[in-house]
Structure formats: C-alpha cells, structure tokens
Amino acid sequence: MKRVTVFSDLRRIGDDMVTAIGMGTWGIGGYESPDYSRDKESVEALRYGLELGINLIDTAEFYGAGHSEELVGEAVKEFEREEVFIISKVWPTHFGYEEAKKAARASAKRLGTYIDLYLLHWPGDSWERIKKTLHALEELVDEGLIRYIGVSNFDLELLKRSQEEMRKYEIVANEVKYSLRDRWPETSGLLDYMKREEIALIAYTPLEKGSLARNECLAEIGKKYGKTAAQVALNYLIWEENVIAIPKAGSKAHLEENFGAMGWRLSEEDRGKARGCV
C-alpha cells in the first residue's frame, strides 16, 4: 500500500491532523446526476493529490448522486487508509434518525470504507430533523461507521444551537463558503467563534470558481513570493490557524498549484492588500 507523506502545513480536526489545503470533489463524477465520462482522469487526479501529500478529500452523497463517493473510494484503495481523511455529507432530504443512518451506511458502502468526518450538508427547514440527525450520528460514531461529526452551511446561531444539542460528542467542523470575495465568516463573527471553540472551518469555493485565480491584483502581490494569484487567494484563507480550504481537485496542474499555497504566509500588510483586490 502507498503511504501519504503529509505536508507540514497542518490543521486539527478532532484528534487528527490534516493538510490546510484539501481536495474538493463537487463536479467530479457529475453534479446532480452521475457522469462517467472522466472517471479515470478524476481518480488519477485524486491519487496524484495524495501522492503530493494532500491528505484530506471532501465529498458528499449529493455529488453526482453518489458517484463522487465511488470515485473517492477507488482513488484511496492504493493508500494506507488511516493516512487519508475522508469527509462526506448527508443531504437534508435524508435528515432524521433512521434516514441519516441509512444514508451514512450507503455513503460508506460507496466509499468502501468508514467516514472520518460526516457533515449535515445544509440546515434544511426543520430543527427537529436536525436534532434527530445529530443524535443518529452520535450512535454511528459508537458503531465505528463515522469518526467525527460536523455541519455545513450553519450560521453562528445554528452552530451554537447544534453544539448544545450534542449528548456525547462534539461538533468538530463547519464547512461554509469562504473566500477573499465572500468574507462573511469574518464579518459575522463565525470565524472568531470557531477559533475560540477550536472548530475547524472548512472553506469551499475558495477561488470563486476560478475567478480569483485570474485576478491581476492578486497576481501582482504573488510576484513578491513567487506565487500565483490562486496561491495568494488560498494562502489568505489558511493564514487563519483553524481554516482548511478545499479547492476542486480538477486536474494535476491545479493540484500542484493548490499544494503550492501551503508552506509560506502572506505578511499582514499583503494580506490587507489582498482584501482590496476584490
């Protein structure tokens, strides 16, 4: 089995250490329905990311109607399982005590392995169903099907409410949209609260679908560090000690560029300039 040589730029999720840059899989294997046309390329890209030393992969049952999870499962087969950290998510239509358990088991089956971090993908429209789902996930931790519990797209109030509902385990992560262009976790107080509580903030769409990678102002800042605009945009996020960014693992070239966002830091002055670029 292959080993994952983990890079030194690490973040804590529960008792585990993961790379500050992970691999997002939205669109890999399809969007709202399966797309098998690029399976081989997608699996090879994920494996390449692991070989580089990126040890976190983010997926969900909703991505490609589960096909994304199948591709992740195929990609990690060649590697020591305990060296890879897999995140998946339950869609709100599967919230509820029995429904969430069934969904988690289906995700684990597609992955071919246990799930390190299982998230409630969106809040949905029922607090009662959120509560039942959280309690179901605590039992799944006891069963060993999942290792940690988290949420996604929860604002500060709902995160606090969910924390209070936990009976046995803690919420260790909240995955939200966060980028230089969309800094609401900073302005809402969510980021500061999560730092105090030692909850990982997992930032999705960190490059705003590639638009920040084409930002000339960020590229100019990057020249000082020998880095690209995309690397500056990602480094801005992981400058925070509890933030993990998960840009899409679309190609080997993108993975190399994403990897290069780690291992250095923008100065506070340049970080302020980066805010002014968008």
Catalytic residues, by residue number, are: 63
Q: Which residue, chain included where needed, has tokens 């976190």?
A: 56
Query: Three-state SS for 1?
Result: coil
What dihedral do alpha carbons 229, 10, 254, 271 form, nearest 10°? -10
Question: Smallest Cα–Cα separation from 108: which of 90, 95, 83, 134?
Answer: 90
Q: Can you point out the beta strands (E) in 100-226?
A: 115-120, 146-152, 171-177, 200-204
CA nearest neighbour of 132 among 145, 121, 120: 120
Q: Report which of 86, 19, 97, 18 is spatially closest to residue 57, judged by C-alpha positions.
A: 86
In what helix (H) or strand (E) does residue 104 lie, and over which residues does it extend? helix 97-111
State the Cα angle at 7 between 154 and 144, rounded to 5°.
55
Buried b (16+ CB within 10 A) or exposed e, 88-110: bbbbbebbbbebbbebbeebbeb
